[in-house]
């Protein structure tokens, strides 16, 4: 990066750096990270995370925190550091984020997606929500701790991963497989996507992510004989594939409530003053709708989803191709993978081959846990009495990789949000943005959490 790109973080320097707070720095750090184009196209093309990782390294080094820089491939970079806690005998906590972002098509945006402009008291740009906001909060807090001599209650392992948006083979998966010792002694992890507020019955409620569906990115392939496009063809691989996609796309997977989702819906019912009946699909839908825009995530957590996302067939207008392919994004509920994969094969039919591109596990962490109590307590110090409910993320995070080390993963990026902001719609969306006040709220909550959990 050029010196000009790093300048926004430097503007808080003073003769007495101990007076610089995390609230002072978090906005500048977030903007500096967003200005770095770290788009991940999922195919190895793209700029990679190197510049973002180098910025993280510099920000840690400036305050005396030693970190390890890991490149798993050219420009695919992650950063890991360990901060000693007051009680090193206790299990360590992993605090992690990712440095890559999904692609942004600039013509679709109201602002340049990597300019990190401030408008309407919000930072706009790709990554402000997913998830350079959390990266900035983490960095701002640990820099403040280092300047002031504050220690977290226990060892904290910082991880800024590459490649999360492609499932992590160049990031968390690789590091867990090849550098597991970096997480020695860790029992819990905190990352995205949870801790944000929603409005239910006019009351602010925080959703804490305690579970994730499994994922499988699949290729559906049909094969046959190529032929002239003018022939009266009785077989056509495109038609066979289209039939399969229609069956899959129109299939309504059965509703099934996991313990996490049951607890969430019970909490929503209590707020609405109604009796929860988990066997009433219509009421389940009504309770989910009461969560406003968050129903996008929550609504997908009550059943398996299988969405076609890409198509590829043919090479010339007058040639019937010998091969057609579609990509499917399948998200399975915990415990349902084998059963639902068998049903998916039946829906696809015998003409379709199913190939796995990438697959990862479902995770479900306990709600009755001291770390959850600490997260709720930290939130209540800054928003007393606000209900906090668990939910299942329909997408996935790097907590999946850490789970292979026995680490329980939670999503907790505490953001107090305006009721009219469609926050969940900003993930991978256009005009991604985060309120500055929410960032500063998050810093205060996370600061308290790290000192008390």
Q: What's the pLDDT score for residue 231? A: 83
Tell me the average pLDDT across 229-254. Answer: 92
98-120 pLDDT per residue, tens: 999 999 999 999 999 999 999 99
Percent of the chain exceeding pLDDT 90 equals 88
Question: Which domains can be identified in the chain, with CATH numbers?
Answer: 3-210+362-452 (3.40.630.10), 214-254+303-361 (3.30.70.360)
> What is the per-residue pLDDT for 5?
47
Confidence band, pLDDT 50/70/90 cuts, at residue 18: low
> Is 35 a residue whose pLDDT tops 70?
yes
- Digit-coded pLDDT (tens) for 395-442: 899 999 999 999 999 999 999 999 989 998 899 999 999 999 999 999
Q: What is the mean pLDDT of residues 346-374?
A: 95
What's the pLDDT score for residue 2? 39
Confidence band, pLDDT 50/70/90 cuts, at residue 234: confident
Other C-beta atoms lying within 10 Å of the C-beta of residue 123: 25
CB 287 within 8 A of CB 275: no
Q: Is residue 305's pLDDT more than 80?
A: yes
- Categorize the per-residue pLDDT at 9 as very low, low, confident or very high, splitting at 50, 70 and 90: low
Mean per-residue pLDDT of the chain:
94
* pLDDT (average), residues 182-197: 96
Closest CA to 444 of 384, 389, 388, 379: 379
d(CA 103, CA 74): 19
Do 225 and 340 form a contact (C-beta atoms < 8 A)?
no
Question: How does residue 232 score in pLDDT terms, banded at 50, 70 and 90?
Answer: confident
Q: Report, as an integer, the average pLDDT of 223-233.
A: 87
How many C-alpha atoms does 440 have within 13 Å on its Cβ side?
12
- 74-98 pLDDT, tens digit per residue, is 999 999 999 999 999 999 999 999 9
The pairs formed by 23-28 with CB atoms below 8 angstroms and a separation of 24 or more are: 23/140, 23/440, 23/443, 23/444, 25/139, 25/140, 25/143, 25/144, 26/136, 26/137, 26/140, 26/439, 26/440, 26/442, 26/443, 27/123, 27/136, 27/436, 27/439, 27/440
* Bridge partners of residue 69, in order along the sequence: 79
Q: What is the average pLDDT across 26-43?
A: 97
- pLDDT category, 17, cuts 50, 70, 90? low
**Bridge-partner residues for 310, per DSSP?**
327
Which pLDDT does position 338 carry in this prediction?
94
Give the pLDDT confidence score for residue 44 in this predicted structure: 86
Q: Are 173 and 70 in contact (CB under 8 A)?
A: no
User: For position 228, what pLDDT does the model report?
Assistant: 86
Residue 334 has pLDDT above 80, yes or no: yes
For the chain, the farthest-separated pair of C-alpha atoms sits apart, in whole angstroms, at 82
Please tell me the predicted confidence (pLDDT) of residue 3: 39
Mean pLDDT, to the nearest integer, of 232-236?
A: 84
Sequence-distant (6+) residues with CB within 8 A of 359 are 214, 215, 216, 217
pLDDT at 16 > cutoff 80? no
CA angle 362/368/373 to nearest 5° reads 110
- Give yes or no for residue 326 having a pLDDT over 50: yes
Region class of 309: left (phi > 0), else alpha (psi between -120 and 50), else beta? alpha
């Amino acid at each position: 990066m050029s010196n000009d790109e790093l300048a926004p973080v430097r503007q808080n320097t003073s003769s007495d750096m101990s007076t610089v707070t995390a609230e002072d720095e978090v906005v500048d750090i977030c903007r500096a990270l967003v200005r770095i184009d770290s788009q991940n196209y999922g195919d190895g093309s793209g700029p990679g995370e190197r510049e973002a990782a180098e910025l993280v390294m510099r920000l840690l080094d400036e305050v005396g925190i030693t970190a390890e820089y890991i490149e798993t491939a050219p420009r695919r970079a992650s950063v890991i550091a360990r901060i000693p806690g007051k009680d090193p005998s206790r299990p360590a906590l992993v605090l992690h984020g990712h440095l890559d972002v999904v692609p942004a098509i600039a013509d679709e945006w109201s602002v340049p997606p990597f300019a990190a402009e401030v408008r309407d008291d919000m930072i706009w740009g790709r990554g402000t929500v997913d998830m350079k906001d959390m990266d900035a909060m983490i960095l701002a807090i640990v820099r403040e701790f280092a300047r002031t001599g504050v220690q977290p209650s226990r060892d904290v392992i910082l991880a800024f991963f590459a490649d999360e948006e492609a499932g992590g083979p160049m990031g968390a998966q690789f590091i867990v497989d090849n550098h597991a010792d970096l997480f020695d002694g860790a029992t819990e992890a905190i990352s995205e996507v949870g801790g944000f507020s929603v409005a239910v019955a006019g009351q602010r409620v925080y959703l804490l992510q305690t579970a994730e569906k499994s994922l499988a990115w699949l290729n559906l392939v049909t094969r046959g004989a190529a032929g002239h496009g003018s022939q009266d063809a009785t077989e056509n691989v495109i038609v066979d594939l289209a039939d399969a996609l229609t069956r899959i796309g129109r299939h309504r997977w059965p509703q099934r409530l996991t313990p996490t989702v049951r607890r969430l819906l019970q909490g929503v019912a209590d707020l609405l003053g109604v009796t929860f009946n988990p066997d009433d699909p219509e009421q389940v839908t009504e309770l989910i709708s009461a969560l406003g825009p968050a129903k996008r995530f929550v609504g997908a957590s009550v059943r398996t989803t299988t969405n076609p996302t890409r198509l590829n067939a043919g090479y010339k207008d007058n040639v019937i191709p010998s091969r057609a392919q579609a990509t499917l994004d399948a998200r399975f509920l915990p415990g349902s993978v084998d059963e639902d994969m068998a049903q998916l094969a039946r829906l696809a039919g015998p003409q379709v081959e199913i190939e796995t591109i990438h697959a990862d596990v479902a995770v479900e962490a306990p709600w009755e846990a001291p770390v959850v109590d600490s997260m709720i307590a930290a939130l209540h110090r800054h928003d007393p009495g606000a209900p906090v409910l668990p939910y299942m993320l329909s997408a996935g995070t790097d907590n999946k990789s850490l789970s292979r080390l026995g680490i329980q993963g939670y999503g907790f990026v505490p953001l107090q949000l305006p009721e009219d902001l469609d926050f969940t719609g900003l993930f991978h969306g256009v005009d991604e943005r985060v309120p500055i006040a929410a960032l500063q709220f998050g810093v205060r909550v996370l600061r308290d959490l790290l000192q008390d959990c």
